[in-house]
Amino acid sequence: MRGEMNSGKTVLRYVSLGLVAMLPMVAVGCSGWLPAARDPSPIQKSFARIEIPRDMVGIESIVIRLDAQQAAMLPEVWATLDEQIIAPELRISLDRNGLRAGKAAGHLPPILEQWLRYHEQRRDEDPLEQVGLAADVSTFAQLWRCRADSRKELTVRKLFAERATVFYYDDGNKGAIFQSPHFLYSLQASPDPDGSASVRLVPEIKHGEIRRVVVAKDSAIRTDERQDSIVWEKIAVEMRLKQGDCIVLGATPDPRALGEHFFQTRTKDGEKQHVLLLVRLSETRLDHGFEPRDPLQSKSN
């Protein structure tokens, strides 16, 4: 009997390892998130680096879960981020929806760097984390290579067989019940000649049954999966980023409305955790034909 149990554990272990091996390249570590230290300790995993075209930028995204001790430090984290870069009217609209956004210029605050390393260590050591079953949030780092006309979907949470009652503010207080909701941000990024990029993030919920439709694009016909969706364009966050800059998205101190559903989760053990979404400009290509105008030189001419 003991031999059978050990065999079962061995099989389960290899199944877990097999699932991990089957994960796509997005399931890699957060090594792209370089710390501020001059000589960072090496992290083994890394994204494949290529020389990207001038009309493309590389955007890294990652969702991290915070335990109670880490969540208690969130006020200190937000104090290090630039929230004033967002227009006051938009900040008010975000707050009404329980959302918060800020920018880290150049590098992440040390606390976030520490959390990323802890996040990677936890994923390496926990098989449930490795196969995405520890909670209902997607915690794998992803690298998106974006052109101006492309749209990517950054999954935050996905509930497969549950209903969620979501309240939100959109020209008034509203609410709806969503079946099998998929909470995400759509990402659009367009490169600029000086090596920066304009990054736009829009909250969205897909819900209901998945429908298969026929789509014709670029002289090709293919089937696609569609769901009903609701998009909040009015609270889209848009920033111009330089390489290394990062947008941080999360919930208000008292999670409510959209923030409660986007940026809170429960683990398989029943622990309620706060969630942050980090979106960083990691790859860009400077157009060497671009010459910014020197204001002093222009005056002398």
Q: Look at 30-44, 109-123, 170-184, 245-259 and tell me which has the smallest mean pLDDT.
A: 30-44
C-alpha to C-alpha distance for 275 and 285, rounded to whole angstroms: 31
Asked if the structure places residue 3 within a domain, the reply is: no
**Given this model, what pLDDT does residue 157 score?**
93
Asked if the structure places residue 34 within a domain, the reply is: no
Q: What are the tens digits of pLDDT across the range 274-298?
A: 999 999 999 887 654 444 444 333 3
245 is written with which tokens? Answer: 């800059």
Asked if the structure places residue 224 within a domain, the reply is: no
Asked if the structure places residue 84 within a domain, the reply is: yes
- How many residues does the structure list for the chain? 301
What mean pLDDT is reported for the chain?
Answer: 81
C-alpha to C-alpha distance for 261 and 164, rounded to whole angstroms: 8
104's CB contacts (< 8 A; 6+ apart) are 80, 81, 82, 112, 245, 246, 248
Asked if the structure places residue 215 within a domain, the reply is: no
Asked if the structure places residue 56 within a domain, the reply is: yes
Domain count along the chain: 1
C-alpha to C-alpha distance for 64 and 71, rounded to whole angstroms: 11
C-alpha to C-alpha distance for 36 and 110, rounded to whole angstroms: 7
Predicted TM-score of the model (pTM): 0.77
User: Above 80 in pLDDT, residue 206?
Assistant: yes
Is the pLDDT higher at 279 or at 5? 279
Q: What are the tens digits of pLDDT across the range 9-61?
A: 443 444 344 443 333 333 333 445 443 333 333 333 444 556 778 789 999 99
Of 239, 176, 234, the residue nearest 202 (C-alpha): 234
**Given this model, what pLDDT does residue 109 score?**
93
C-alpha to C-alpha distance for 191 and 251, rounded to whole angstroms: 28
C-alpha to C-alpha distance for 206 and 181, rounded to whole angstroms: 6
**Given this model, what pLDDT does residue 40 score?**
36
Contact 278, 154 (CB under 8 A): no
**Block residue for tokens 């959209």:** 258
**Given this model, what pLDDT does residue 50 score?**
62
Mean pLDDT in residue range 197-218: 87
Give me the domain span that covers residue 249: 52-159+184-204+231-291
User: Above 50 in pLDDT, residue 6?
Assistant: no
Is the pLDDT higher at 74 or at 15? 74
**Given this model, what pLDDT does residue 49 score?**
57
**Given this model, what pLDDT does residue 77 score?**
96
Asked if the structure places residue 90 within a domain, the reply is: yes
Q: What are the tens digits of pLDDT across the range 253-278?
A: 999 999 999 999 988 888 899 999 99
Asked if the structure places residue 69 within a domain, the reply is: yes
What amino acid occupies position 56?
A: M
243 is written with which tokens? Answer: 């390489």
User: Above 90 in pLDDT, residue 207?
Assistant: yes
HEC letters along the chain: CHHHHHHHHHHHHHHHHHHHHHCCCCCECCCCCCCCCCCCCCCCCCCCCCCCCCCEEEEEEEEEEECHHHHCCHHHHHHHCECCCCCHHHHHHHHHCCEEEEEECCCCCHHHHHHHHHHHHHHHHCHHHHCCCCECECCCEEEEEEECCCCEEEEEEECCCCEEEEEEECCCEEEEEEECCEEEEEEEEEECCCCCEEEEEEEEEEEEEEEEEEEEECCEEEEEEEEEEEECHHHCEEEEECCCCEEEEEECCCCCHHHHHHCEEEECCCCEEEEEEEEEEEECCCCCCCCCCCHHHHHHC
Using a pLDDT cut of 90, give the percent of the chain over it: 54
